[in-house]
């Protein structure tokens, strides 16, 4: 039996997370609302610590460890936001973070993870190399593995973003999130369905990385193979726990084109004056493509993060 978090676990996570994470603002745009014919409310996790929602889950996982386990440290393999989030959460608790990163990771991400005090082990840029190197690090250190999304405490922590959104703005007809590994989406679904049972939970995914879309609609897990998208935070396959929650609580998953992702990203930059990464733009892209009927509805959108290489902007 898989251990699946419920809303009580999200509430427990929130007591931890709110001590260390930002309660991020919820913003809206009159001009975007006019364009789409709906009331959109954006939960700005791009303004979260380390620039992404990932800090919530990492924080809950680190501070939920027993004192005995914590002293051995935590470990993961990641080249992105989860690596930085886990490193910062571990530093806050005063314990070691062991991060396995592919040697071809962007320099800015290597510097960020090192800057938070993590011990980095580099490996070849293959999943097999990442997993075998991590296994070796855990064997040598006794550290606890904190998976980026297929982890009980991580999922519960990610659910705190939707909990805050609903507490701050009340009823919603639809709540949307992007989907990659499914940590944010599964946590969002747990909170949304508990607090607003009639609210639809809808995820958006790039058409070039549509494993969650295919998994959801076939009801069978489909791996992510050779994904191609500008939304680099959404390249991973769904986690086992995440897929189970998504099948139970999510109403729909839709896909969007690369052109729409760029259009939505640019729209938020220009009209809301905030920096988001491509993954964050995917739900708005689905609305612009009319993949989701939002006419005259109140819609909450989790903006997942704001970390990107400004030298490689798509516009």
- Spot the catalytic one: 43, 54, 119, 163: 54
- Spot the catalytic one: 79, 105, 192, 237: 79
**79 is annotated as an active-site residue:** yes
174-178 vs 200-206, strand pairing mode: parallel
What are the strands of the beta sheet with 26-27, ordered from one edge?
26-27, 39-44, 298-303, 174-178, 200-206, 252-256
Distance CA 1, CA 74 (A): 24
DSSP conformation letters of 21-82: S----EE--HHHHHHHTSEEEEEEGGGSGGGBTHHHHHHHHHHTS-HHHHTT-EEEE-SSHH
Report H helices in 175-306: 183-195, 211-218, 240-249, 258-272, 278-288
- Report yes or no: 4 and 154 within 8 Å, Cβ to Cβ: no
Looking at the annotation, which residues are catalytic? Answer: 54, 79
């Amino acid at each position: 039996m898989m251990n699946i978090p419920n809303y009580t676990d999200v509430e427990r996570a929130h007591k931890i997370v709110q001590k260390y994470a930002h309660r991020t603002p919820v913003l809206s745009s009159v001009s975007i609302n006019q364009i789409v014919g709906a009331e959109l409310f954006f939960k700005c996790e791009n303004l979260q610590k380390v620039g992404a929602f990932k800090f919530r889950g990492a924080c809950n996982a680190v501070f939920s460890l027993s004192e005995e386990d914590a002293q051995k440290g935590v470990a993961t393999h990641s080249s992105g936001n989860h690596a930085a989030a886990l490193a910062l959460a571990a530093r806050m608790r005063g314990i070691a973070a062991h991060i396995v990163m592919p040697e071809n990771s962007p320099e800015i991400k290597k510097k960020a993870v090192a800057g938070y005090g993590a011990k980095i082990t580099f490996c070849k840029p293959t999943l097999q190399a990442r997993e075998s190197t991590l296994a070796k690090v855990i064997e040598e250190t006794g550290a606890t593995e904190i998976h980026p999304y297929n982890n009980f405490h991580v999922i519960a922590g990610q659910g705190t973003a939707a909990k805050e959104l609903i507490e701050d703005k009340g009823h919603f007809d639809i709540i949307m999130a992007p989907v990659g590994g499914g940590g944010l989406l599964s946590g969002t679904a747990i909170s949304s369905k508990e607090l607003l049972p009639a609210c639809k939970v809808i995820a958006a995914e790039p058409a070039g990385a549509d494993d969650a879309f295919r998994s959801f609609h076939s009801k069978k897990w489909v791996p992510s193979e050779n994904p191609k998208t500008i939304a680099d935070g959404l390249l991973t396959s769904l986690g086992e726990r995440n897929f189970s929650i998504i099948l139970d609580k999510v109403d729909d998953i839709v896909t969007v084109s690369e052109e729409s992702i760029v259009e939505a990203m640019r729209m938020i930059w220009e009209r809301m004056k905030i920096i988001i990464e491509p993954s964050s733009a995917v739900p708005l892209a689905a609305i612009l493509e009319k993949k989701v009927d939002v006419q005259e509805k109140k819609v909450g959108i989790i903006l997942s993060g704001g970390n990107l290489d400004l030298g490689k902007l798509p516009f």
